[in-house]
A and B are shown apart, each in its own frame.
Chain A
């Protein structure tokens, strides 16, 4: 079983839609949860970061962590064509930064 599972998509939505991206994980010791956005032929960039369970909101983006279900989500409200990218979830056991576990990424296209 992979440490982190993520539906690769692709996901295609009309502009303005609410997008839900999800990851599940197997290691209950994960404490730090991140979402990265990766545009085509670019390196990933950090979008959201959450420690332990709960919600975090930043503009149109909301990250949720449910540790009891080992499930994390990223919601994008009022999606824009500029949101078209691959979204990677990542998690780590601690904040020492030496081992990040990444999902395979979900490809999202927002159609104008």
Chain B
């Protein structure tokens, strides 16, 4: 099992550009999450999904969009990149129940200039 994979590893965007951060898991988990991690701020939940076709907002959803068409994939879309979106983005997945364990991907470092 590859677990949770994320692409790209690193990206530089100009203000106003758009991009999609890819996330795939091969553990057949129903729950998937997107977090951002800023220095000294911990992990903040952006969006999460409880299954294909079902998504919901987390703590900091503004400026982002998600979709979940399959169990495996949970892409995160930035439509109009802003410097405030410079961060490290982590995707995670977990079982629907007994979900104390979230499995994290390696992260995508995004720099918006």
Contact = CB atoms under 8 A, between A and B. Distances in A.
Nearest to B100: A49
Interface string A87-100: 01010100111111
A76 interface: no
B42 A103 contact: yes
Interface residues of B, number: 29
26 contacts: A4-B42, A34-B100, A42-B107, A43-B4, A43-B92, A43-B104, A43-B105, A44-B90, A46-B101, A46-B102, A88-B42, A92-B100, A95-B98, A95-B100, A96-B96, A96-B97, A97-B31, A97-B94, A97-B96, A97-B100, A97-B102, A98-B50, A99-B58, A102-B43, A102-B44, A105-B42
Given A44-B43, A44-B90, A98 B56 contact: yes
Contact of B40 (A92, A99, A100, A104): A104
Interface in A47-96: 49, 51, 88, 90, 92, 95-96
A49 B81 CA distance: 36
Given A43-B105, A97-B94, A8 B100 contact: no
A43 B90 contact: yes
Interface in B60-104: 90, 92, 94-104
B3 to A, nearest CB: 9
Interface of A: 4, 6, 8, 32, 34, 41-46, 49, 51, 88, 90, 92, 95-100, 102-105
Contacts of B103: 46
A49 B106 CA distance: 21
Contacts of A45: 104
Given A34-B100, A41-B107, A97-B95, 19 more contacts: A4-B42, A6-B42, A32-B100, A42-B107, A43-B105, A43-B107, A46-B101, A46-B103, A49-B101, A51-B100, A88-B43, A90-B43, A97-B94, A97-B97, A99-B58, A100-B33, A100-B43, A102-B43, A102-B44
